[in-house]
Amino acid sequence: MAKKEEKMRLEGTITKSLPGTQFLVELENGHEILAYLAGKMRKYYIRVLLGDRVTVEMSTYDLSRGRIVYRHKKGQAPPPSLSPTPSVPTEEEKSE
């Protein structure tokens, strides 16, 4: 069975709301992508408004589209499980 590919997680800001729970999101690196709400966010009616900080999950194959997986609360850092980049093991962790 094929191994699932890793998704890239980036942070961005909602710049425009479009029909069908789609949004234009400006990423921290300046790129603008089309993103839609993830299923759990839709299921639990999590509202996303213009200007909200969000975490977007993107495939490495299509860098112009993504899925909004987390809406950040005002003044709060993302939870460790949703960090945008995986942590690199230190020399101590490698030796264990």
The verdict on residue 60 lying in a domain is no
The verdict on residue 40 lying in a domain is yes
Q: What is the DSSP letter of 27?
A: E
Domain that holds residue 26: 16-52
Question: At 45, which CATH number?
Answer: 2.40.50.140
What residues are paired with 26 via a beta bridge? 13, 32
Cα gap 34→22, rounded to integer Å: 7
Query: Which has more pLDDT, 84 or 21?
Result: 21
Domain count, the chain: 1
For 1-39, what is each residue's pLDDT tens digit? Answer: 567 778 899 999 999 999 988 999 999 999 999 999 998
The verdict on residue 3 lying in a domain is no
The verdict on residue 45 lying in a domain is yes
Question: Average pLDDT of 72-76?
Answer: 79
